[in-house]
């Protein structure tokens, strides 16, 4: 059963585990256990998607309990009224805080986006990041005798596909466990040392205005125990 973070007559939010698809996809026909159907069975009513988290990302995932509410919430997401906060483990030492303002060309999937328009101009993409803590482990990676990692907070100001993963790669601090945009040697070293094999990206918080009551809501999702145990080593 999912950990329900928030529920009323209009909305429900869960702490999505890493590895779960939000809904069924013809790209992965063999995956029959997905969040939408499982949550529907858990609460005994239909849920309507508002946004999505990539399969390997964990954290706050919000659903509406009616089509009308889903439409209203989608408008909030599309107009950038929702504040999203993520936490990640990245390669190397990150210091201070800064804004990454780096336009991104839309990533086109050869199968899923078969009929999508190619050669679109790069779209505005902005991410705020803040360093929290660091660690150096006695594992040799490439020419380096040790491996360094940072725990960071990320706040996307836009919602481009794989924005956080691509922006952190752009500043040479890719997110650990990212098989597409990351450093495979560092991913392997991290997994061997900490025993954690997943994308180290977690959607920690959503701040929004309730579409019916117009009251502000803040929904937070705790890091799982494997994250918490690992972070005890960070300073």
Taking every pair of Cα atoms in the chain, the longest distance, rounded to a whole number of angstroms, is 57
**Catalytic hit among 54, 124, 178, 183:** 54
Whether 54 sits among the annotated catalytic residues: the reply is yes
Nearest CA among 37, 57, 49, 102 for reference residue 77: 49
Which residue has tokens 């960070």? 234
Distance CA 161, CA 144 (A): 32
| Adjacent-strand bridge partners of 48 | 64
Q: Give the helix, strand, coil percentages of the chain, each rounded to 5.
A: 20, 30, 45
Asked if residue 189 lies in contact with residue 205, where contact means CB atoms within 8 angstroms, the answer is no
CA-based radius of gyration for the chain: 18
Q: Which are the contacts of 44, defined by CB distance < 8 A and separation ≥ 6?
A: none
3-state secondary structure of 40: helix
Catalytic residues: 54
């Amino acid at each position: 059963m999912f950990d329900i973070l928030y529920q009323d007559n209009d909305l429900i939010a869960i702490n999505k585990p890493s590895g779960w698809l939000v809904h069924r996809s013809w790209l992965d026909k063999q995956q029959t256990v997905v969040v939408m159907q499982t949550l529907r069975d858990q609460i005994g009513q239909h849920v309507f998607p508002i946004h999505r988290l990539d399969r390997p990302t964990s954290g706050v995932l919000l659903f509406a309990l009616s089509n009308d509410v889903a439409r209203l919430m989608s408008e909030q997401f599309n107009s950038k009224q929702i504040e999203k906060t993520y936490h990640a483990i990245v390669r190397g030492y990150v210091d201070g805080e800064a804004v990454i303002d780096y336009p991104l060309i839309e990533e086109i999937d050869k199968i899923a986006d078969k009929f999508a328009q190619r050669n679109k101009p790069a779209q505005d993409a902005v991410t705020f990041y803040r360093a929290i803590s660091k660690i150096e482990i006695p594992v040799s990676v490439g020419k380096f005798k040790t491996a360094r990692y940072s725990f960071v907070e990320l706040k996307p100001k836009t919602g481009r596909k794989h924005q956080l993963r691509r922006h952190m790669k752009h500043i040479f601090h890719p997110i650990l466990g990212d098989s597409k945009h990351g450093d495979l040697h560092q991913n392997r070293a991290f997994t061997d040392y900490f025993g954690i094999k997943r994308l180290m990206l977690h959607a920690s918080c959503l701040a929004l205005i309730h579409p019916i009551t117009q009251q502000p809501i803040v929904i937070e999702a705790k890091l799982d125990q494997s994250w918490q145990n690992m972070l005890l080593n960070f300073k």
